Structure 1
């Protein structure tokens, strides 16, 4: 059996780090087990679903390195849901209900007042054919509920009915169906709820493992009952902890906070985002993992904490720096070329500056300094000008290499008597216009003697 997983977002906004964590867990599980990853859009909400959001989701997942074997859209699968609904209706497991939202709320309050669980009392099962005809003649249209298997013979005598599964993340899980209302699977307008469409899709697409947020645990008990009612095998289930913002708030598409697109535009590396999203809230140390294959090698869904984890973008900075500082030129080349950083010495330049970068785009500053002259951030102190002018007279002859800096500063030290910061800082400011940055031993050969002399104050 080929392990098959799915990620099923609603294209009603841009995916954020919270639902991307779900995608990453599924992708890594498939990668680790040589399985298939299906991207399935829950786009049956025609009012809120937008093509632009679906396209952005595909682009964001591709940026992260997630490559779906198949992309599906629920809006194209309505006949499949119609057929499955008819099967449940024919077996008496999907029954029509006519209560309005206001009527259901009154019944809920009445049950609470009688100290009964606030679940649906299955009153619609008592309706005769004549009752239904009358209600529909009044203009009422039914919504359809799934009859949960939480009774023996009489659906009005609900008994404790436990659904169990060995969760991939949380070990043994149990849901008592007697504590739940029969779920609505079909709305009054004939559209289907995700609880139902997801089950039909999982069956049709051969989904073997479902990894999703732990807010779906109760829903899983219901879906197991629906899957079994349709005569299918229940997939293996795993429920991971949810991510919150650094302040502990839930992450929502509506706010646009922590969207993958925004993190990408901020210059973060995809593996920095993936490393933090996957490893936070697990027993693994949060480190910058260089590739998806390497992340899959240490990935273990069972190592995930049961409690929510806070995602702080500030934590990305250290991971991002670690990845960039070790990034080979070949990996950065295309992006550097897009920044105008190219030529025979582009690789030498990258290896010289990468250790001081937080973003690949930061290389532009140093390329400009090498090509056009010092930044305007810092100016030489007046007392240092004569010292620097004299130092430039001691520049060694070419050819230059990494040892040239030491040869030069040794000569300057011997003549001026300066050492330490009073010696090195004025030279750095004269050459770069900044008080910190890459090793000048690496920058000096890039400047060359002519470029260096051009910076003489």
Structure 2
């Protein structure tokens, strides 16, 4: 068994890409197979080396390791041979229409309420007409003549699938400059590098039918590959998540403080009946089951991801995150805040709250209360019992309790309405800073 992930280095990887990479890698590992990273860089004009490196960095961050890797531009000779084979069998034919002419045809078809399918006009050209077109300076692009059949397969997620090829336009496989398109290059690579299973998005179902037909034209059996099409991703409101992909790159999520383990756990179970399980990647593969994925579109809920991230951070020991925390952070600081943050980037705020200078928000009618709090503040050393003893004394003197007692103190000491337990933070803030903040609160 061998699976692959074939991103194009024309942009950053986003959660949609990551979901497919994770699915292919987990499925391969679960079944003792191999995983291939293939860089689809046939679009030379848009491909960037920086994106290639970013793809590798992102996959490594996710915990995905590949057994082999190559770039499609390293195999141009193999695609050229496939092109010649398809030309020789009459399956690849030259076309000379301009983009404007094709657009006009589509507009006419739509206006006449017909499906905008390519009309194969170029198949009717005689050799003499083709020669004349080339003599006039026209350079052909090449289309693959699809079979007049219905392609069927048993999908590992969607069940029985079919594509009626007569309702699909003959795909362009070779550009006017002679470069090959992904549609052909992908089939050639899948066949020649022994790919057995292909997990892709539901939006590729029609493309799958086309590529099965191309594979057959190159000598493969109809059932050479096993396919699994994952349902589309929607946002929290049921809209297309693809519209937000640019803002959901893996680099952005990583910089914001989303943990790779949480993201892998979330995306691996997205669209299934299984609850996410926080495990290392290798162990994640042991419990991954593609058959549990629903056929229905899945909703990517940022709140659920952050909830899982929160849970993951809450169980991390200090040693694992020490080098990613603000300078000077201690184990006591981490243990105090880890249960109250959704992303590690939030540690910066609490580091400032604990060790830095803050400006408490204005509060009405609390000056007398905060003065009493300062007067009753016990001497150091402090521990986790200090908060309880201090607030008990303050309650007895003021008669206040509950929110009326605790909220003014929290606002004065942290500047925030919510946060880590003050019994844990108080010893870290220290008596001097506490007094300074109580005084500042009185003067608002």
TM surpasses 0.5: yes
Q: What SS does structure 1 have at the residue aligned with 2:45?
A: coil
Q: Is the 8 A contact 2:355 2:428 kept in 1?
A: no
Cα distance between partner residues in 1 of 2:157 and 2:319: 38
Which ranges in structure 1 are unaligned for 5 or more consecutive residues?
Answer: 151-160
Q: Is the 8 A contact 1:375 1:434 kept in 2?
A: no
Q: Structure 1 residue 218 and structure 2 residue 192: aligned?
A: no
Question: What is the match of residue 442 of structure 2?
Answer: none
Cα distance between partner residues in 1 of 2:71 and 2:267: 26
Cα distance between partner residues in 1 of 2:248 and 2:353: 33
Cα distance between partner residues in 1 of 2:359 and 2:311: 26
Distance 1:424 1:188, change over 3 A: closer
Question: What is the match of residue 277 of structure 1?
Answer: 267
Answer with 48-57 or 443-452: which moved more. 443-452
Distance 1:289 1:137, change over 3 A: same
Cα distance between partner residues in 2 of 1:46 and 1:253: 25
Distance 1:330 1:371, change over 3 A: same
TM-score w.r.t. structure 2 length?
A: 0.84
Cα distance between partner residues in 1 of 2:3 and 2:318: 35
Question: What is the match of residue 341 of structure 1?
Answer: 328
Cα distance between partner residues in 2 of 1:131 and 1:147: 19
Cα distance between partner residues in 2 of 1:261 and 1:38: 22
Q: What SS does structure 1 have at the residue aligned with 2:246?
A: coil
Q: 1:122 offset after TM fit, Å? A: 4.6
Distance 1:385 1:109, change over 3 A: closer
Answer with 27-36 or 253-262: which moved more. 253-262
Q: 1:232 offset after TM fit, Å? A: 3.5
Question: What is the match of residue 335 of structure 2?
Answer: 351
Alignment equivalent of 2:128, drawn from 130, 133, 141: 130
TM-score w.r.t. structure 1 length?
A: 0.82
Question: What is the match of residue 369 of structure 1?
Answer: 353
Alignment equivalent of 2:64, drawn from 66, 77, 87: 66
Q: 1:422 offset after TM fit, Å? A: 4.9
Which ranges in structure 2 are unaligned for 5 or more consecutive residues?
Answer: 440-444
CA RMSD of aligned residues (A): 3.4
Cα distance between partner residues in 2 of 1:62 and 1:242: 25
Cα distance between partner residues in 1 of 2:103 and 2:350: 65
Cα distance between partner residues in 1 of 2:105 and 2:415: 75
Q: What SS does structure 2 have at the residue aligned with 1:21?
A: helix
Q: 1:78 offset after TM fit, Å? A: 1.2
Question: What is the match of residue 9 of structure 1?
Answer: 7
Answer with 442-451 or 303-312: which moved more. 442-451
Distance 1:124 1:46, change over 3 A: same
Q: Is the 8 A contact 1:341 1:364 kept in 2?
A: no
Question: What is the match of residue 370 of structure 2?
Answer: 385
Distance 1:190 1:410, change over 3 A: same
Q: 1:438 offset after TM fit, Å? A: 1.9
Alignment equivalent of 2:90, drawn from 89, 92, 103: 92
Alignment equivalent of 1:78, drawn from 72, 76, 79: 76
Q: What SS does structure 2 have at the residue aligned with 1:47?
A: coil
